[in-house]
Amino acid sequence: MHLSLDEQVLRLSVNKLFNSIKMGVISHSIVVAIVILILLPYIEYDVIMYGVIIHLVIVILRVHLLIKYNKENQESLKISSIKNYLRVYRIYIALSAMLFASILFFLDTTPIEYKFLIITILIGISSSSIYTLGEIHSVYLSYMLSIVSIVIIWALLQNESVHNASILLFTILGMYFSLTSYRYSQTYKNMLIRDIKAKEYIKEQEIAQTKILTQKDKLDHIAHHDSLTDLPNRVLLNNRLEQAIQNATRHKTFLSVYFIDLDNFKVINDSLGHAIGDKVLQDVTVRLKNILRINDTLARWGGDEFIVLVEDIKEIEHSSVLAKKILNALQESFLVDDKELYVTSSIGISLYPRDSKNIENLIKYADSAMYKAKDEGKNNFKFYSNDMTKNAFERVVMEASIRNAINKEEFVVYYHPQIDAKNHKLIGVEALVRWKHPEAGLIAPFKFIPLAEETGLITQIDTLVMDIAMEQFSKWYKDGHNPGVLSINLAVKNLEEKNYIDKLQNCIDKYSLDTSYLVLELTESDIMKKPKSSIEKLNKINSLGINIAIDDFGTGYSSLSYLTKLPIKELKIDKSFIDDIENDEDEDGNGKTIIKAIIAMANTLNLTLMAEGVEEEIQKDFLVENGCNNIQGYYYAKPMSADEMLEFMKGMNSD
């Protein structure tokens, strides 16, 4: 309930007024005692009894009002109720004053000097009442005027000398005490106002201070916690890890750092959206919390990476128990927006003090162990070993070398012929990247392509290969040679670039290349990572007149429904099936059966077939006999430089 300043003053004044009633009761009791002791010998008994009765009535009225007021919850009383109590009290106090002063009318036989003594007592009571009634001027005024009016009436009935003296005395005193009570009430009011304002100011300061402290706590929490999961972030984790190391050193115990990465979480984000991905991360947080102890620390490192810090480990072997619990907890399905999702995890573990006594190293080593767990098939855990640091260092060095090689254009293109085995004609070449290192010499693709794909550098390499190959291919045609079609490998990350198609078109225009001579190859597994977006991008590429081929066909998990929607013109049978041809003991071996099925499917879908990795004559003969005439492999030629390829073309044409 909000009260104005005047209303607050009124409430406090009335509270004090009613609290002063007790003093009034005591003062009236004292007056009764004084009257009885002093005046009893000189005043009639009936008059004394009248005075006692009057005082008792006054005391009863005050006590009645006091009890009634104190029964109420004074802090919740409405102002209208307070004013009503004040009005009743004014009536009671005026009535009390009249009854009290009327005792003069019963003193007819009393000597005049005692009458003036009683008047003096009345004046004293009137003046002293300022300390119990003066906080509210109207109450004091009603009390004093009631006494004065009765005394004046009595004085008027006396002889001229008595009433003149009495009237003059009470008029002067009345004016003085009324003005005094007003000043007293105003002083009291101002004092209350200052007190109220001081309390309000203090309260405002306390509220402001509380808000500042609350805001500080919020900012401190935000600074040390992840906004999505409300888990400790890197800053808070480092603080706790530092404290944990101190405790482990003091108590000679071990501590474990678990680096947890969700397997294939990017697929959920890319296919279902980040909102679903965020809910999965929140559900993962709940599951991890449920299997950890209260004093264990679970932090979000970033993205889909979490770190668990476990202290007070007595035996190192115990660390594997929690790792297994985490794996089991996360491999159960998650239900998010009526979608059943599955998320596994890879965990790396580092130990203090065995692996390191340094905070950064413990986290770095656990991270290295996690990558090792991923490399070995995911959904498992690995403890850190020194070899991992060596491998990680080599990885960092290799990545830096790849970036340097791109800048210095150390990558060259080799060309692998594609032959029509039935007619013994060159039908095309596949452009393959090679790294011509100035010191290490020619570096095979399998040593740098996986890392380039992982780091995203593959897009820059593909752009470089595309430019070199198209320039060379255009030159061959201008020089009167017929190399057939040019197949260029396309990493799926290129399709994720907004300007890739423009970059492709610019390169074609730059070398005036007929797009019907171009084939872009994507692996089956790459296409199926984002089949819907792949269809859209590949349709745009196909609209330029460029053919699309699926490389390593049969090794992925493509859907036949997607195959019919993709704008593909060619399937390349993976080398692993070709190798099985000579290993099958009979005509119905598994490798041969699969190849026959692929050939039949390609014929049904009206797709061109290319068999890659053909090295033996028995492989070539089986493929040709079953309707796959297009061959690529060491049986005819290894990948070769542009100059070697030119000589190979001349040889094929001369044949």
Query: What are the extents of the domains in the chain?
Result: 5-201, 234-384, 398-654
Looking at the predicted structure, is the pLDDT value of residue 565 above 80? no
**Averaged pLDDT score across all residues of the chain:** 81
What would the pLDDT profile of 23-47 be if each residue is shown by its tens digit?
666 766 676 677 667 666 665 666 6
What would the pLDDT profile of 190-248 be if each residue is shown by its tens digit?
777 777 777 777 888 888 888 887 788 788 878 888 889 999 999 999 999 999 999 88
The CA-atom distances, in angstroms, between 242 and each of 235, 239, 356, 605, 618 are: 11, 5, 13, 63, 66
High-pLDDT (> 70) share of the chain, %: 78
595 touches 385 (CB < 8 A): no
pLDDT band at residue 538, thresholds of 50, 70 and 90? confident
376 touches 357 (CB < 8 A): no
Which architecture characterizes domain 398-654 according to CATH? Alpha-Beta Barrel (3.20)
Which of 140, 110, 288, 300 has its CA nearest to residue 224?
Answer: 300
Q: What DSSP letter does each residue of 403-467 carry, written as one string?
A: HHHHHTT-EEEEEEEEEETTTTEEEEEEEEEEEEETTTEEEPGGGTHHHHHHHTTHHHHHHHHHH
What would the two tokens of residue 337 be? Answer: 């927006």
- CA dihedral sign, ordered 35, 40, 45, 46: negative
Rounded CA gap, 334 and 460, in Å? 38
| pLDDT for the residue numbered 85 | 73
- CATH T-level topology, domain 234-384: Alpha-Beta Plaits (3.30.70)
Rounded CA gap, 497 and 490, in Å? 12
| pLDDT for the residue numbered 416 | 95
Looking at the predicted structure, is the pLDDT value of residue 587 above 60? no
| pLDDT for the residue numbered 309 | 94
| pLDDT for the residue numbered 282 | 93
Average pLDDT over residues 320-349: 89
What would the two tokens of residue 525 be? Answer: 């597994």
Average pLDDT over residues 421-429: 92
| pLDDT for the residue numbered 42 | 61
645 touches 429 (CB < 8 A): yes
Q: The pTM is what?
A: 0.52
251 touches 313 (CB < 8 A): no
Angle at which helices 575-583 and 617-625 cross, to 10°: 100
Average pLDDT over residues 259-271: 87
Looking at the predicted structure, is the pLDDT value of residue 172 above 80? no
| pLDDT for the residue numbered 40 | 64
Rounded CA gap, 194 and 189, in Å? 9
What would the two tokens of residue 288 be? Answer: 């991890």
| pLDDT for the residue numbered 113 | 65
Q: Determine which helix (DSSP H) or strand (DSSP E) holds 128, and give its type and residue range.
A: helix 112-128
Looking at the predicted structure, is the pLDDT value of residue 464 above 60? yes
Establish whether domains 234-384 and 398-654 are of one fold.
no
Looking at the predicted structure, is the pLDDT value of residue 136 above 80? no
Looking at the predicted structure, is the pLDDT value of residue 599 above 60? yes
Average pLDDT over residues 309-333: 85
Looking at the predicted structure, is the pLDDT value of residue 134 above 60? no
Average pLDDT over residues 535-562: 78
